[in-house]
Structure 1
Amino acid sequence: MNTVPTKLPRSRAFMTVFLKEVKENLRDRRTLISAFLTGPLLGPLIFVMLLNVTLNRELDKAEKPLPVPVIGAEYAPNLLDALKVGGVVPGAPVADPAQAVRKQDADVVLRIAPDYGKAWRKGEPVQVELFYDSSQREANTSVERVSKLVESYGRQQGALRLVARGMSPSTAWPLQVARRDQATPQSRAVLMFAMLPYFFVITVFMGGMYLAIDLTAGERERQSLEPLFANPVARWKILCGKLAAICAFSSASLLITLLAFAVVGQFIPAEKIGMELDLGVHFAANVLLLMLPLVLLLSALQSMVAAFAKSYREAQTYISLLMLVPLIPSALLSFMPIKAQAWMYAIPLLGQNLGIMQLLRGDGVSAEQIGLCLAGSLAAALIALLATVQLYRSERLAISA
């Protein structure tokens, strides 16, 4: 049970409360697991493991021979030979190609019409059918691979027909598009790591969550708030000491996560897919700078939400719902890509999300953007802090305690 001295020197009230809460929560196994293990380490490990499994599976599928059931293979032997050169292994035909792909018996099925050879000899356009299910994400690589081989064979044969008629193959393509991709290997990494800012926010959230609940609803259940509020020390000093403890645990959790990503990031085979990932010291330092005001904001919000609860379990429910709020900026940027404007950096959560995305792209974050991000988040944190202080001063909290 939390205990405090009946008399607390006013000049040392903040530090005394801070050290007391840190010391007591270092003994709490649940808080330690949440702050230093579950959030900081489990998230990066699961993220990297899933990414490695997915990338390696897709790369293996792109390189290994691909079995494809073919209906009517005897009608287009030359097409089949071209597919074999590209790594496709023609398989036995299936009775119902649509049902085969829906049941995932095959990623893709190729069907060649019986009149293929007759139309080909007449120089008429011919058509082959590819059956696939676009809702099956695992089949996308196979479908793309077979489609490109068939289209490449068609373009090659079309060029040969033009040459046979004494015409240049370029006659069929009077307009050509020269693609100039300006994406760098590092900027392409954003496509796969769009949810990384959410990991950092959740880590900060998890780092101080149980501490915030225990220091409000938990102490109310244990009826240990009365000695605190009966103390001659101002309530805001007690609150600031508790918030400092929450911020300390959240910051430590964030540091562990940044270190974990810096280590496990080296095991991501980004170079195999033409990407470059830098999660080193420069990235970690900038993320830490951007996230520090958010640590204070989330700590104040957690304390305020938990203070409204009458029990530990009720506080857990409220704060779990609050945890969904940081998901909004990451989801918006994932499903609704937007061009970042200067004012967006002043919005808490959104500013951190945009800044971390720029760091991943290798573009860096300007001093103006950092300043807007810090100013906006600090302003929101101060508002949340003042609201929490006011709540602690209220008669409602004193009575409910």
Structure 2
Amino acid sequence: MIQFRALLSKELKEAFRDKRAMMMAMMMAVMAPVMIFAMSKVMIKEAVETPPVYVKVTGAEYAPKLIKSLKNENILLLADVPNDEKTIWEDRALSITIPTSFNQDMLEGKPIDLYLRADFSEKANMSPIRRIKTTINHYAQAIGYKRLLVRGIDVRLLQPIKIIEQDTSLPNSNAMIISMMLGLYLLMAAFMSGLPVAIDASAGERERNVLEMLLCQPVSTLKVVAAKLCCASLIACIGVLLTLGLTTFSVSFIDLTKIGASFNLDAFTITALLLLLLPICFFASALQLFVAFQSKNFKEAQSMVSMIIMLPAMVPVIMMFVDNKPKWLDWLPISGQSLIMEDLFKGLPVSWSLLCFTGLVTITMTFLLVLLMAKKLRSEKVVLALS
């Protein structure tokens, strides 16, 4: 035990001595809350507000009521665009062409073709185009209903079945975008925060000949690996705690009531998240140490280990496109924690047995990686990076 404490103290001193590496390790914890705050602000603004849309209308004099309907939805003529936004809307080139026979065709009940011209592949045009199409369709639908009423036909005949939506989701479920981002960033923090320490404690020490001198001492390779794992995992846990704390603080400045949502991390949720993420921190650090020890030099270790941080980003995204998820995904590292976090943020009951089993599987895989690293460090090929 004395040897392990000495090794752990040595690893922690080396880790905290490198200020640049520590700044890189904590970058995810600082950047994630800022990104969540900024993206949430933008999404709420788009969901609630209806910013003005400026469109060039040819033949506006033939359909004054249509132009009025567009104006009521804050869809204005290009001639009214402010000078500071004129270039932007001219580049978007949204235009509607109204035929000269609009009034005559309307009186005769003939179908009327309106031409909406725009670059439909341009992302900036998607929201304005959707608003223009919705407004015109509602205007056309209102005219159709009036024509039926004039002919003595009840417009309710057009909708024999009416769906009444009853949302059973909890208030915090409406903030699922924020929750999904937070869950993703927490997993990323678990993988990224301990990354610089794991690379330096393995490939870095080998290049500085520290690893060879360390293994020459009367200490087991298992204790050496365990000390390095605990150091990297501790940094990863600090990163997760910072991400969690700073995100909770930043989200408190977002007015979620505009979208009828609430977001609150109580003591129960925080405890469950920590129980989920603690095994992931150890698993991520063990995986990074294992890959770094297999690399021939420090640069190769950086390249190889950096690929591992794609796992927490890829796995949840892939699962989003899988409708019928296999049961074994609930047990694996990353996927199991991701699914449980999703239920947790939705306010659904947490299966503690599944949480414990997923954590046990993650810890078991971590322990196997530690044993495999301890065995490989007894070989000169790994210690000296021989071919």
TM-score (norm 2): 0.89
1:122-176 deviation per Cα after TM superposition (whole angstroms, max 9, x unaligned): 1223332333444333333322322222222222222211121122122333343
Which 10-residue stretch deviates more, 209-218 or 140-149?
Answer: 140-149
The answer as to 2:111 corresponding to 1:125 is yes
Q: Post-superposition shift, 1:192?
A: 5.2
1:237-260 deviation per Cα after TM superposition (whole angstroms, max 9, x unaligned): 121112111111111111111111
Q: Post-superposition shift, 1:288?
A: 1.2
1:201-243 deviation per Cα after TM superposition (whole angstroms, max 9, x unaligned): 2212222111111111111111112221111111111211121
Amino acid at match of 2:246: A
1:49-198 matches, cutoff 5 A: 49-56=38-45, 59-60=48-49, 62=50, 64-92=51-79, 104-106=91-93, 108-191=94-177, 193-198=179-184
Q: 1:46: which partner in 2?
A: 35
Determine helix, strand or coil for the equivalent of 1:110: strand
Which 10-residue stretch deviates more, 274-283 or 76-85?
Answer: 274-283
d(CA) in 2 for partners of 1:103 and 1:201?
43
1:332-343 matches, cutoff 5 A: 332-334=318-320, 336-339=321-324, 342-343=327-328
d(CA) in 2 for partners of 1:337 and 1:137?
26
Structure 1 spans left out of the alignment, 5+ residues: 1-10, 94-99
The answer as to 2:279 corresponding to 1:290 is no
Whether the 8 Å contact between 1:69 and 1:92 is mirrored in structure 2 is yes
Determine helix, strand or coil for the equivalent of 1:194: helix
Whether the 8 Å contact between 2:36 and 2:181 is mirrored in structure 1 is no
Whether the 8 Å contact between 2:36 and 2:182 is mirrored in structure 1 is no
The answer as to 2:198 corresponding to 1:208 is no
Q: 1:394: which partner in 2?
A: 379
Amino acid at match of 2:362: S
1:6-21 matches, cutoff 5 A: 11-21=1-11
Q: 1:101 to 1:70 in 2, by over 3 A?
A: farther
Amino acid at match of 2:63: A
The answer as to 2:360 corresponding to 1:370 is no
Determine helix, strand or coil for the equivalent of 1:326: helix
Q: 1:8: which partner in 2?
A: none
Q: Percent identity?
A: 27
Whether the 8 Å contact between 2:58 and 2:96 is mirrored in structure 1 is yes
Determine helix, strand or coil for the equivalent of 1:68: strand
Which one of 263, 266, 282 corresponds to residue 249 of structure 2? 263
Q: 1:85 to 1:250 in 2, by over 3 A?
A: closer
Q: Post-superposition shift, 1:272?
A: 1.9
Whether the 8 Å contact between 1:73 and 1:80 is mirrored in structure 2 is yes
Which one of 342, 345, 363 corresponds to residue 360 of structure 1? 345
Determine helix, strand or coil for the equivalent of 1:231: coil
1:230-379 matches, cutoff 5 A: 230-334=216-320, 336-339=321-324, 342-379=327-364
1:277-310 deviation per Cα after TM superposition (whole angstroms, max 9, x unaligned): 2344433221111111111111111111111223
Structure 2 spans left out of the alignment, 5+ residues: 81-86
Q: 2:18: which partner in 1?
A: 28
Whether the 8 Å contact between 1:340 and 1:354 is mirrored in structure 2 is no
Whether the 8 Å contact between 2:36 and 2:178 is mirrored in structure 1 is no
d(CA) in 1 for partners of 2:37 and 2:135?
32
Amino acid at match of 1:396: K
User: What CA RMSD, in Å, does the superposition of the two structures yield over aligned residues?
Assistant: 2.6
Whether the 8 Å contact between 2:291 and 2:304 is mirrored in structure 1 is yes
Q: Post-superposition shift, 1:102?
A: 11
Whether the 8 Å contact between 1:26 and 1:32 is mirrored in structure 2 is yes
Q: 2:84: which partner in 1?
A: none
Determine helix, strand or coil for the equivalent of 1:127: coil
Amino acid at match of 1:30: R
Q: 1:357 to 1:134 in 2, by over 3 A?
A: farther
